[in-house]
Amino acid sequence: MSGNIWRTLVLSSFLCASLVSAKPAQAQTYPDKPVKIVVGFSAGSGPDVIARSIGAQLTNDLKQSFYIENKVGANGAIAIKSVITSDPDGYSILYSSSSIASVPHVYKSLGHDILKEFAPVATSGILDGYFMLVNPKLPVTNVAEFIAYAKKNRVVYGSPGVGNVLHLAAEMFNLRAGVEMEHLPFRGASEVAAALMAETIQVMFVTPPSVISLVESGDLRAIGFTGSKRFPATPNVPLVSETVPTFPVTGSWGMFYVPAKTPTAVVDKLNGAIRAAMLSAQVQNVVVKSGYIPDERSAAQTAAFFKAEVDAAGIAVQAAKILPN
């Protein structure tokens, strides 16, 4: 073997070894600059509150800034596109509620396949259900009275967009309770709550974190909770299923994602860091007290869970007769 060929082989082996070791090395130094967490919902919304609490803990634990950037609109599709098209290096992260599961079935114009172009990292926990809220001035105090009212009066419900889980929850209530509420979409859950307080709409379904203070203050009335058991912070609020037995709506969750080509070692490091953050006292004060249960899934298990949720959302979208756009 000539000297030139030998040197070429040695150099090639060195380069291959460098490429193989680059990803673990990247994970060892990650993060070495600020990390952006993109949230597709307005500041103060449930997803925003949770993302900020976990981001603050990650900043403390990993000694690098994890900051929030809100990109509102199209049920989170604008935020999704901004992260999918970013560099796959772990410095642009998407945080979304379970509303993202319906996006590929409703927003065909997105132009991206979230199952193929995202790497799910970790959940921020699982929430058992949603509040069913009305304005205190509405002459109803429970679900049975609401159904009777809705059968005699025009009722408008609001949700943060078309095809999100809160929209689907209300449409399933229409079906199961035998009522015909009308839908008025908004840009975010905080806007829906404001419209409910202003009596622009009569009812909304919403995750507890963004509205619990409004319920406790009496600005909004919780007449039901859609989960399998009563919400811990409001034990006097009955389950919707106590009145409509065929209407248990559960399974809300939040999740972090990075572009699909992000090195596996970085994804796994983020997964471990987020799971550790979920167990901190600071995050538990915000997230766990809001009803979320910390999740122990690995990144690979999170990806499998996400695919199953996207598939299930497709069935719900069809049942609600929502036309994709």
Examine the fold and report which residue of 221, 242, 263 is the final residue of a domain before the chain moves on: 242
Task: Give the model confidence (pLDDT) of 120-179 as tens digits.
Answer: 999 998 888 899 999 999 999 999 999 999 999 999 999 987 777 888 889 889 988 999
Query: Is 179 within a domain?
Result: yes
As a whole number, mean pLDDT of residues 184-200 equals: 91
CATH value at residue 198: 3.40.190.10
**How far is it, in rounded angstroms, from Cα 200 to Cα 184?**
9
Higher-pLDDT residue of 255 and 112 is: 255
Examine the fold and report which residue of 192, 219, 242 is the final residue of a domain before the chain moves on: 242
**How far is it, in rounded angstroms, from Cα 235 to Cα 6?**
75
Count the domains in the chain.
2
Examine the fold and report which residue of 191, 217, 242 is the final residue of a domain before the chain moves on: 242
- On the CB side of 152, CA atoms within 13 Å amount to 8
Query: Is 95 within a domain?
Result: yes
CATH value at residue 300: 3.40.190.150
Query: Is 256 within a domain?
Result: yes
pLDDT (0 to 100) of residue 21: 44
**How far is it, in rounded angstroms, from Cα 122 to Cα 132?**
28
State whether 137 and 211 are in the same domain: yes
Query: Is 325 within a domain?
Result: no
Q: Which among 305, 302, 209 is positioned nearest to 258, based on CA atoms?
A: 302
- Give the structural domain span for 265: 31-128+252-319
pTM above 0.75, yes or no: no
Task: Give the model confidence (pLDDT) of 223-241 as tens digits.
Answer: 999 988 898 889 999 999 9
**How far is it, in rounded angstroms, from Cα 84 to Cα 94?**
9
